[in-house]
């Protein structure tokens, strides 16, 4: 084998002007792919990072970009029914100040989803409480149960939910389950055979397609949403997946997380988000209209609500934009909880400006997330945050997986999106924004309780070069790609 390789090498180098041809080929490769990347008009730092990777690793760099590089997903046709014009009447809670009205209009313009209301919003802490509420709602389903998850594992928690869905499907209830093909790869189709035999439906979001060389794989474009809608009247969303890893009753080291149970008009909007994802994944273009006809129209409510969606099918980065706008709107405090903190320039500027302006700005992150690289990248921002006056805390007992923002005494944002580039740009995400003092007070009490288990980070902490500063600096270089 070695002789054959040596012979092939000598044959190659003996070709006349081979170095010139290789140099021209390399330049042509850079010009072609570089133009392709530049024309996508991404952030300059991310664009330069990809160009550098292509130049240093000519063939491997192309393969990495082909699989993991940014892509634009086109599914605008599914959104023809969305009302993008300003609503005739905003819910009363959006009216007190011009800033609140502006934020509501910004949410609608960037998502195409009109402001709505909720009648009841319950905070569900950790998996045990969430799974109980979810199973109770499913047990009472009469018409349909729609579920969309990033992670659904074939473990004890997953089996318990599957069996509940099987029971409802046998009773004639329409059960539709949309799972991310990468995040839920642990649960094979065989695991869901009882559900399919009972009449339930299963669809995989962005299945891996490495065999289709004429199409770029969707490996890096995942649905990170967690949505359950029961009969169009009760909905669940937030950060909790279906796995024993988030069930503290089965594992003492389960993730610390936060979820929502919702009733009111906002359920109809979450139903629309699910319906569009299902129609996109299955190719059933009539499904959105079909579900709209089966969903109750007026359910009432007095809690002003925005359903925020974002993903690679939109360049507006609505959830990112709304986080930054909410921080700028705040006049007294900004409390942010996130498992992955890799902010862009706009978000970092908003947080530090709020702190420099005298607001009570607090950031709660896990002491060690499930990604060491992201943990180091997050810590690389701490010095600037601390210098601006942001109070940074690291939650220690378990892996913190909650995603929440509290601004002043009324604005609450809770959902599936982390505070990083992947959630803001690559993943399909959903986040709920509420204006409600009572809900804000409940979230504030919850965060304050979490802070009692989260030592505060100080600027005089140990900063060893090899153990901390250098790994954090190197991880930060990859921030635009995380």
CATH number at residue 476: 3.30.870.10
Enter the DSSP assignment of 253: T
Together in a domain, 55 and 134: no
Is residue 78 included in any domain, yes or no?
no
The residue whose two tokens read 């988030």 is 246
Radius of gyration (Cα) for the chain, nearest Å? 24
Is residue 177 included in any domain, yes or no?
yes
Together in a domain, 160 and 241: yes
Pairing of strands 333-337, 360-366: parallel
| Annotation says 224 is catalytic | yes
Final residue in a domain of this structure, among 237, 269, 301? 301
Together in a domain, 254 and 152: yes
151 within 8 A of 184, measured Cβ to Cβ: yes
SS (H, E, C) 63-106: HHHHHHCCCCCCCHHHHCCCCCCCCCCCCHHHCCCHHHHHHHHH
| Annotation says 401 is catalytic | yes
Together in a domain, 151 and 297: yes
| Annotation says 180 is catalytic | no
Say how many domains are in the chain: 3
Residues of the chain with pLDDT under 70: 1-13, 17-19, 21-23, 25-26, 29-30, 32-89, 92-97, 209-219, 462, 466, 478-482
Distance between CA 221 and CA 181 in Å, rounded? 10
Quick one: CA torsion of 245, 250, 252, 254, rounded to 10 degrees?
20
Tens digit of each residue's pLDDT (9 = 90 or more) over 326-384 = 999 999 999 999 999 999 899 999 999 999 999 999 999 999 888 788 888 888 899 99
pTM (2 decimals)? Answer: 0.86
- Looking at residue 212, its pLDDT comes to 56
Pairing of strands 429-435, 303-310: antiparallel
Final residue in a domain of this structure, among 248, 276, 301? 301
- Looking at residue 85, its pLDDT comes to 41
- Looking at residue 100, its pLDDT comes to 77
| Annotation says 408 is catalytic | yes
Together in a domain, 148 and 217: yes
Is residue 74 included in any domain, yes or no?
no
Together in a domain, 149 and 200: yes
Together in a domain, 195 and 280: yes
Is residue 75 included in any domain, yes or no?
no
Distance between CA 118 and CA 468 in Å, rounded? 45
Together in a domain, 253 and 367: no
- Looking at residue 207, its pLDDT comes to 87
Q: Which domain holds residue 34?
A: 13-68
Task: Give me the catalytic one of 144, 180, 206, 231.
Answer: 231
- Looking at residue 242, its pLDDT comes to 98
Together in a domain, 130 and 201: yes
- Looking at residue 44, its pLDDT comes to 67
SS3 413: strand
Is residue 111 included in any domain, yes or no?
no
| Annotation says 458 is catalytic | no
- Separation of CA 406 from chain center: 18
Together in a domain, 285 and 330: no
| Annotation says 3 is catalytic | no
Is residue 167 included in any domain, yes or no?
yes
Final residue in a domain of this structure, among 301, 334, 359? 301
Is residue 310 included in any domain, yes or no?
no
Task: Give me the catalytic one of 144, 146, 206, 226.
Answer: 226
Together in a domain, 270 and 413: no
Is residue 458 included in any domain, yes or no?
yes
Together in a domain, 352 and 296: no
Task: Give me the catalytic one of 401, 420, 421, 436.
Answer: 401
Q: Evaluate the CA torsion angle 245, 250, 254, 259 in order and state its sign.
A: positive
Tens digit of each residue's pLDDT (9 = 90 or more) over 192-221 = 999 999 999 999 998 876 555 555 556 678
């Amino acid at each position: 084998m070695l002789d054959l390789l040596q012979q092939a090498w000598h044959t190659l180098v003996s070709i006349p002007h081979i170095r010139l041809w290789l140099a021209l080929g390399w330049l042509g490769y850079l010009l072609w792919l570089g133009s392709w990347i530049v024309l996508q008009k991404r952030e300059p730092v991310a664009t330069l990072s990809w160009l550098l990777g292509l130049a240093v690793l000519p063939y491997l760099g192309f393969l990495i970009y082909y699989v993991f590089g940014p892509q634009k997903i086109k599914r605008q046709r599914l959104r023809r029914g969305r009302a993008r014009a300003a609503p005739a009447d905003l819910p009363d809670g959006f009216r007190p100040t011009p800033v609140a009205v502006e934020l509501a209009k910004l949410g609608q313009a960037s998502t195409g989803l009109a402001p709505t209301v909720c009648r009841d919003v319950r905070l569900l802490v950790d998996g045990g409480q969430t799974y109980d509420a979810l199973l109770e709602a499913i047990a009472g389903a009469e018409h349909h149960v729609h579920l969309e998850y990033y992670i659904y594992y074939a473990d004890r928690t997953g089996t318990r939910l599957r069996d509940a869905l099987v029971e409802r499907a046998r009773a004639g209830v329409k059960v539709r389950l949309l799972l991310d093909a990468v995040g839920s790869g642990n649960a094979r189709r065989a695991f869901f055979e009882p559900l399919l035999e009972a009449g339930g439906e299963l669809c995989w979001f962005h299945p891996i397609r490495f065999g289709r060389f004429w199409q770029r794989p969707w490996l890096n474009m995942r649905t990170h949403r967690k949505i359950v809608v029961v009969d169009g009247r009760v909905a669940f969303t937030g950060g909790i997946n279906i796995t024993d890893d988030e069930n503290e009753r089965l594992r003492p080291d389960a993730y610390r997380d936060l979820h929502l149970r919702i009733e009111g008009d906002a359920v109809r909007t979450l139903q629309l988000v699910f319906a569009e994802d299902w129609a996109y994944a299955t190719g059933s273009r009539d499904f959105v209209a079909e579900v709209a006809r089966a969903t109750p129209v007026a359910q009432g409510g007095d809690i002003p609500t925005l359903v925020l969606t974002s993903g690679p099918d939109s360049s507006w980065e609505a959830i990112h934009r709304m986080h930054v706008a909410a921080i700028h709107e705040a006049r007294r405090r900004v409390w942010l909880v996130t498992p992955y903190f890799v902010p862009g320039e706009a978000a970092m500027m908003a947080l530090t400006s709020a702190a420099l302006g005298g607001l009570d700005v607090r950031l709660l992150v896990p002491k060690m997330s499930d990604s060491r690289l992201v943990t180091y990248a997050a810590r690389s921002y701490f010095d600037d945050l601390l210098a601006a006056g942001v109070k940074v805390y690291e939650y220690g007992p378990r892996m913190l997986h909650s995603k929440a923002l509290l601004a002043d005494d009324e604005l609450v944002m809770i959902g599936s999106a982390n505070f990083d580039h992947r959630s803001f740009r690559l993943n399909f995400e959903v986040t709920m924004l509420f204006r409600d003092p009572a809900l804000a007070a409940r979230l504030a009490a919850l965060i304050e309780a979490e802070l009692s288990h989260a030592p505060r980070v100080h600027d005089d902490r140990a900063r060893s070069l090899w153990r901390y500063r250098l790994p954090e600096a190197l991880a930060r270089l990859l921030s635009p790609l995380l």
